[in-house]
Amino acid sequence: MARKKRKQIFEHIEVIDAGAKGKSIAKAPDGKIIFVNNAVPGDIVDIQTTKKRKAYYEGSATVFHKKSAKRVDPTCAHFGTCGGCKWQFMGYEHQLAYKQQEIVNNLTRLGKIELPKVTPILGSEDQFFYRNKMEFSFSDSRWLTLEEIQSGTEIESRNALGFHMPGMWDKILDIDKCYLQEDPSNDIRNKVKTFATKNNLSFYNARKQEGFLRTLMLRISSTGEIMILIQFFNEDEEKRKLLLDYIASEFPKVTSLQYVINSKGNDTIYDQEVICYKGKDFIEEEMEGLRFKINAKSFYQTNSKQAYELYKITRDFANLTGNELVYDLYTGTGTIAQFVAKQAKKVIGVEAVPEAIEDAKENARNNNIDNTEFYVGDMKKVFTKEFIAQHGQPEVVITDPPRDGMHKDVVQQLLNISPKKIVYVSCNSATQARDLALLDETYKVTKVQPVDMFPQTYHVENVVLLEKR
């Protein structure tokens, strides 16, 4: 039986760059790259390896000989344990620089395409408390710190209401204060946990698949409306009403109080019945006078303020005159489609999720927009000759796919449709680069605008304008 290779320690290593997924990059004495999970470019550290691969190592900094000038003190007490804000120890201006660098690298190295001058990344005005939606999990076996384990002290309550530990599906980090969502988010979460514990409402156990309280979702819109959704593992009317009535009385400003009874193995609610207990079954977002109904299952950009900036850039890139037919792919609830509609002759939105299309149609009616049409369909199958013959040849296509990017058949359909312009909004520049490479023979990239939607994280959005060669 082969012996397990011992972990190595590399001493006095300078961290030289930021890499993908929040890791930083250093070089080992043998020339291999080391991906470091807890260092900032400019740090000089000792690194203990955790994985060894043919071309690289993975590791953690264990000793800091010199700390980088790019470092800042993390704001959140949970930083380093919680996996949510991996770049919180890096100054915001440096976060932006590395995000821009990643986009340029991906488009040139992976896409191998010629780029115009990339416009400087648009930073977020709010670097904390910017998310309009948060999801927290209940657990009866919260994550214990090493100090707690070593103390030998008996821990009375293991109840937690917070986030999954990175890479651990069954362990929840109890959160005291999160800096991602504005008040009263922290107050609601903490009071719900305290009340549930005091009244012996059992917290979920993922391994045993038992326990009453499962998840808490909070949505706070830019209009100040609040949605709370509690997910229960099983129905217990008396206990359910006890908690929901407490929330309603303690937080009278809550606009929408809803719940789900979900006894299946996973906690996704998209195939579950959502029941409105008090108030409306939706909240509303507002943008340039347009109002969008957001229900418990709706997708809406998580940073409302930056979503507005992102959509303005998308509209500017499309540069519509009022005479164009526009196709909006992956339209979701039709926010971009309706945002550009007043400058277009007509907008056709296509989305695979039927409920989203119903929302899009309703939002368009409520906003008195009569030049949009929305269709449900598998993106790679919907653009048949019959569809084009019925709806027309678009001059402009806007596409905002999920992280996986566009299916190669969708790219081929775009080439078949052959619009004059394509505006490609992406939350993953690596898959965007792959798709741009497939379009490169017919389309030239003429504008690139990165947008930071998620400060303190390594995630970044990118908008690209493609014009026919």
Active-site residue set? 427
> What is d(CA 217, CA 371) in angstroms, rounded to the nearest whole number?
34
- The DSSP string of 60-101 is EEEEEEE--TTB---S-TTBTTBSS-TTTTB-HHHHHHHHHH
- The DSSP string of 221-283 is -TTS-EEEEEEESS--HHHHHHHHHHHHHH-TT-SEEEEEE--SSS---TTS--EEEEE-S-E
Question: Residues near 2 by Cβ (< 8 Å), separated by ≥ 6?
Answer: none
- Burial class (CB within 10 angstroms; exposed 0-12, middle 13-18, buried 19+) of 355: middle
Cβ atoms of 200 and 212 closer than 8 Å: no
Cβ atoms of 312 and 461 closer than 8 Å: no
Q: What share of the chain is helix, strand, coil (3-state, %, to 5)?
A: 25, 30, 45
Question: Residues near 65 by Cβ (< 8 Å), separated by ≥ 6?
Answer: 12, 44, 45, 46
The two tokens of residue 446 are 């003429």
Q: C-alpha 327: how far from its chain's center?
A: 24
User: In the block, which residue shows the tokens 């293991």?
Assistant: 158
Q: What is the DSSP letter of 54?
A: S
Instruction: Using CA atoms of 95, 131, 463, 374 in order, give the dihedral in degrees to the nearest 10.
Output: 170
